[in-house]
């Protein structure tokens, strides 16, 4: 059970770090260059990021939190379930409802980078906050 909890923690941390890095460095860096070049770079990033290295933490973190909650004994289970819920809503739902449609619009040329970046970054920052919160919840579960 400890190994499952630690893998769950690592997946949540990986995802939180990814979202944090984008909001705090990648997007400000792109906004500091020409919008056309930034749009080209972001479209390339959006294509290249779709790998198992993204999907393992993105989908694995909430799934493993649920599995850990089911298998947990004592007071840990609610913390794992809370982590899964926060991650699911704050990461998976926000991604599907906002960030991916914005990525698709940018790819199709239906939105300029200048219009895309502020909204995408705001919702990405919300994803970062949610995944940091879910990381903390898994950490609390591990102490129970």
The backbone torsions φ and ψ at residue 19, rounded to the nearest 5 degrees and listed phi first, read -65, -45
Give long-range contacts, CB 8 A cutoff, 24+ apart: 74-77.
Answer: 74/144, 75/144, 76/5, 76/141, 76/142, 76/144, 77/141
**What are the pLDDT tens digits along the chain (144 aa)?**
899 999 999 999 999 999 999 999 999 999 999 999 999 999 999 999 999 999 999 999 999 999 999 999 889 999 999 999 999 999 999 999 999 999 999 999 999 999 999 999 999 999 999 999 999 999 999 999
- As a whole number of angstroms, the distance between CA 34 and CA 100 comes to 23
pLDDT of residue 1: 87
Count Cβ atoms below 10 Å from residue 74 Cβ, excluding itself.
6
User: Among candidates 33, 47, 49, 43, which has minimal Cα distance to 110?
Assistant: 43
| pTM summary value | 0.94
Question: What pLDDT digit, counting tens, does each position of 100-126 carry?
Answer: 999 999 999 999 999 999 999 999 999
Q: Residue 138 corresponds to which tokens in the numbers above?
A: 């898994």
Torsion of CA 47, 13, 27, 89, to 10 degrees: 80
């Amino acid at each position: 059970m400890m190994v499952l909890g630690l893998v769950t923690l690592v997946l949540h941390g990986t995802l939180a770090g990814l979202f944090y890095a984008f909001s705090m460095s990648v997007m400000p860096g792109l906004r500091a260059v020409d919008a056309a070049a930034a749009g080209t770079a972001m479209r390339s990033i959006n294509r290249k990021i779709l790998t198992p290295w993204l999907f393992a933490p993105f989908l694995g973190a909430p799934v493993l939190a649920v599995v850990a909650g089911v298998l947990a004994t004592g007071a840990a289970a609610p913390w794992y379930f809370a982590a899964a819920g926060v991650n699911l809503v704050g990461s998976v739902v926000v991604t599907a409802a906002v960030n991916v449609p914005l990525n698709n619009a940018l790819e199709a040329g239906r939105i300029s980078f200048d219009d895309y970046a502020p909204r995408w970054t705001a919702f990405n920052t919300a994803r970062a906050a949610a995944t940091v919160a879910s990381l903390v919840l898994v950490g609390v579960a591990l102490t129970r």
